[in-house]
Amino acid sequence: MTTLQVRNIAVQLGNTGILEDVTFSAKGGALVGLIGPNGAGKSTLGRTICGLLKPSAGEVRIDGEVLAMLPRKEAARRVAFLAQGDAVHWPLSGRSTVELGRAPHVGTFGSLSPDDHAAVDRAMERADALAFADRDVKRLSGGERARVLLARALAVEAPMLIVDEPIGALDPRQSLRIMELLRQEAERGILVIAILHDLAMASRFCDRLLVLRNGRLVADGTPAEVLSPAGMEAHYEVTGHHGAHDAEAFVIPWKAL
């Protein structure tokens, strides 16, 4: 299983420090939730881990290798990334959109191999997106488009997947389907890091939670540890309703302090 090491990461954009001294490690087979208040630096950390942003200090290592030292296509084969609110700018079919996920594997002339087509089929099946193969993605509903875009990330078949707010604009049913899929990917041995604001979903589906606040990692543990009554107050300045249903624990933010 793949291993990730984030060591002393700092990111500065212009004169503004976004992240400072962020350190943690993780390995495949886990769904890790990256949570915290707005403006904490979660998206910046996600983009830094996958190599889209260069840290001003520190390093990211995947399987012991420094990500910044890997060739661009090799790095893209190691980490798949689904950006927040990932937009579709062209009238592509669902299948053509998912095929873009194979870009790190495609040769000089840009044609997909039988293996690439098979990977696209697998990704669309796992994301329950086969029904949208021939439809214009710009005409899909938000939930349908979310499944196609997630299938595009899955088509990379990378050992690590980072998703930024994958359920931010979805209804409850679609949100549950996406979180269930991310859980299944982790069970397949993938390291999944999900940037989330929905604490009920994070507490129910994630194995581990990392909390960013003001650019620093301030908590790292199980959902029960991180989102305890004291944790809810410290990290979010709210009280929480803690409960369980079908033998699964959950936390709902209840009252602002």
Query: Tens of pLDDT along 220-239?
Result: 999 999 999 999 999 999 99
pLDDT confidence of residue 110: 73
Q: What percent of the chain has pLDDT over 90?
A: 86
Query: What is this structure's pTM?
Result: 0.94
Residue 203's CATH number: 3.40.50.300
pLDDT confidence of residue 170: 85
Q: Kindly tell me if the per-residue pLDDT of 166 is higher than 70.
A: yes
How do beta strands 16-27 and 3-13 pair? antiparallel
3-state class (DSSP) for residue 105: helix
pLDDT confidence of residue 109: 65
Residue-wise pLDDT for 136-147, tens only, equals: 998 998 888 889
The better pLDDT of the pair 247, 24 is held by 24
3-state class (DSSP) for residue 193: strand
pLDDT confidence of residue 86: 62
How do beta strands 238-245 and 248-256 pair? antiparallel
pLDDT confidence of residue 91: 83
- What's the average model confidence in pLDDT over 93-104? 94
Domain extent at residue 170 = 3-256
The neighbour count for residue 11, using CB atoms within 10 Å, is 22
Name the domain count of the chain: 1
Q: Where are the alpha helices (DSSP H) in the chain?
A: 42-49, 72-78, 94-99, 114-126, 142-155, 172-187, 199-205, 223-226, 229-236
